[in-house]
Amino acid sequence: MFTLEPDGVLEVLEQLNVQADQSTPSTWQVTMQRGELFAQPSLVVDGRRYRPGDGTRAGTFHISRGTRGIRFDWLQPSGVRSVTLGYKLALFGTAYTDVIDLRVPVWERDWPVPVRELTAALNLPRLPRGRVIVWVEPRPPETTVTTSRRQIRLRTRNVGADTPLTLHAVLPRNVLSSFDGVNVRAKPGLAAILAARRGNHRAWWPWALAAGVALAVSAVAFRTARSRRPLRR
């Protein structure tokens, strides 16, 4: 679940269905770029909220610097469990003088087996007045994107092992009420963004909203994955 806040901060809840044959040390990384901010981590397994700790004892999780960002560590209990990781990201998007550029990390590249099913829905904190452009990088097979006045919904199946997936959204500036949670560039950005997209042959452009068509009032994405075992250290 993604929630795009009015100042551009992204609240993330990642929901995974995990099956483990035995109690297993597990890890999950959040990719971060230089200058981005991470806050308010949480971990819930089958409705039980884990507490900050060393991550090696049952009911605790540990946050540390990973190889490319922030790392969660915890002891995954045996059986089929629902795991929800939560956190907030700031300064991951960029506000130009003409548009806001967001690259929402729909799926990380850590998962060591294919993802059978993944669904993501993105809403916005305010109704946009202007053109909204969205595409997926890269486009996995069996992917569909549907839209309504309130929502962009991405559905995909059989995402390859260790394959990241990004929802790239270019939005009018009026979707945010302030820019405290994003980077600010005092120059136009749309032309350069579109030029970069044309040079990336993996990118897919599913649709563009015409001016005046509304998206909705928060940002939500649901991620569901099934594997035979959780990530291992």
pLDDT score of 179: 96
User: pLDDT confidence of 200, banded at 50, 70, 90?
Assistant: low
Rounded to an integer, the average pLDDT of 85-98 is: 95
**DSSP per position, 7-48:** TS-EEEEEEEEEEESS-EEEEEEEE--TT-EEEEEEEEETTE
Average pLDDT, the chain: 81
The alpha-helical segments, DSSP class H, found in 152-211 are: 190-198
pLDDT above 90: residue 100: yes
pLDDT score of 37: 94
CA–CA separation, 47 vs 195, rounded Å?
Answer: 45
Residue 176 near residue 5 (C-beta atoms within 8 A) = no
- Tens of pLDDT along 74-87? 999 999 999 999 99
pLDDT score of 178: 96
CA–CA separation, 104 vs 8, rounded Å?
Answer: 12
User: pLDDT confidence of 110, banded at 50, 70, 90?
Assistant: low
Tell me whether the omega of the peptide bond preceding residue 172 falls within 30 degrees of 0, making it cis: no
Rounded to an integer, the average pLDDT of 1-7 is: 88
Rounded to an integer, the average pLDDT of 88-101 is: 95
Rounded to an integer, the average pLDDT of 90-106 is: 92
pLDDT above 70: residue 11: yes
pLDDT-above-70 percentage for the chain:
82
φ/ψ (deg, to 5) at 195: -65, -40
User: pLDDT confidence of 185, banded at 50, 70, 90?
Assistant: very high
Residue 91 near residue 35 (C-beta atoms within 8 A) = yes
The CB density around residue 61, as the number of other CB atoms within 10 Å, is 24
Residue located via tokens 């901060």: 9
Token representation of residue 188: 């136009």
φ/ψ (deg, to 5) at 199: -80, -5
- Tens of pLDDT along 24-58? 999 988 888 889 999 999 999 999 999 999 999 99
pLDDT above 70: residue 218: no
Rounded to an integer, the average pLDDT of 156-172 is: 82
- Select the more confidently predicted residue: 200 or 180: 180
pLDDT above 90: residue 166: no
